[in-house]
Amino acid sequence: MGLTGYLLLAAALFSLGVFGVVTRRNAIGVLASVELMANAVNLNLVAFSRHHAGPTGQVFALFSIALTVAEVVVGLALVLLLFRAKGDVRIELASELKD
């Protein structure tokens, strides 16, 4: 299967992630959707790596995975904080940006 197929698959996965990020109401659900988007990007990187010489694509995918892990850790810490402050993790409760 060629590069185009993988890229289209990644695009579809990314779009699903976008949908989740703007529609999920639970903060953890949003976080999971963000993971989908990050995963789509990794898939892109690996697919490109397969069609270009050199390890750079995979190296970047590894960096990206590690970064995503860090992001999840901090994100979940924020979710816990939100839970502690509001007693729920519905994301619209965090609307302090408004004021």
Partner 1 sequence: MSPLYTALLCTFLPLAAALVLVLVSPLRRAGLAAGLFSVATALIAFGGAVTLLLERWSGAATPVRETVRWLPHAGLGGGAHARAVIELGVQIDGISATMLVVVTAVAACVQIFSLGYMAGEPKPDFGRYFTWQSLFLFSMNSLVVAPNLLQLFLGWELVGLVSYLLIGYWWSKPSAARAAMKAFWMTKLADMGLILALLVLFVDTGSFDWTVTTSAAGAVTLLLFFAVMGKSAQFPLHVWLPDAMEGPTPVSALLHAATMVAAGVFLVVRAFPLFEQAPTTGLVMAYVGAFTALFAAVIAVVQTDIKKVLAYSTCSQLGYMVAALGAGSQVGGFFHLTTHACFKALLFLAAGSIIHGVHSNELSHMGGLWSRMRVTSVAFLVGALALAGVPGLAGFFSKDLILEHVLERGLWAPLGALLVAAFLTAFYMGRVTLVALFGRPSAHAEHAHEGGVSLLAPLVVLAVPAAGVGWLGAKLSGLYAAPVHFHLSPVGMVATGLALAGLGLAYWMFGAPQGGGRLRAAFAPIGRLARSGAVNARFAWGYGVLGGVSSIFAWFDRYVIDGLMNGLGYATLALGARLRGLQTGRAQDYVYVLVAAMLGVGAYGAFWSR
Partner 2 sequence: MSGEQVGFWVVALAILGAGRQVVTSRNLVHTVLWLAVTLANTAVAFVMLEATFLAAVQVLLYTGGVLTLMLFGVMLTTRDTGFVDVRSPLHRGFAGGVLAAAVMALVSASILRTPLPEARVTAPTTEALGASFLTEHVLAFEALSLLLLSAVIGAVVIARRRDAGDPREERGPAIRPRAPRAAGGAVRLGAPEAE
| Residues of this chain that bind partner 1 (CB under 8 A) | 18, 21-23, 30, 91-92, 94-99
User: How far apart are the C-alpha atoms of 46 and 57, rounded to whole Å?
Assistant: 6
Maximum C-alpha span of the chain: 51
Residue 78 contact among partner 2, partner 1, none, beta carbon within 5 to 8 Å by kind: partner 2
Q: Closest distance between partner 2 and the C-beta of residue 34, in Å? A: 11
- Angle separating helix axes 27-51 and 3-23, nearest 10 degrees: 170
CA distances (Å), 20 to each of 5, 16, 57, in order?
Answer: 23, 6, 27
Out of partner 2, partner 1, none, which partner does residue 91 contact, by CB within 5 to 8 A per kind? partner 1
Interacting residues with partner 2 between 27 and 46 (CB under 8 A) = 27-29, 31-33, 35-36, 39, 42-43, 46
14 binding partner 2? (CB under 8 A): yes
41 binds, among partner 1, partner 2, none (CB under 5 to 8 A by kind): none
Cβ pair 47, 35 in contact under 8 A: no
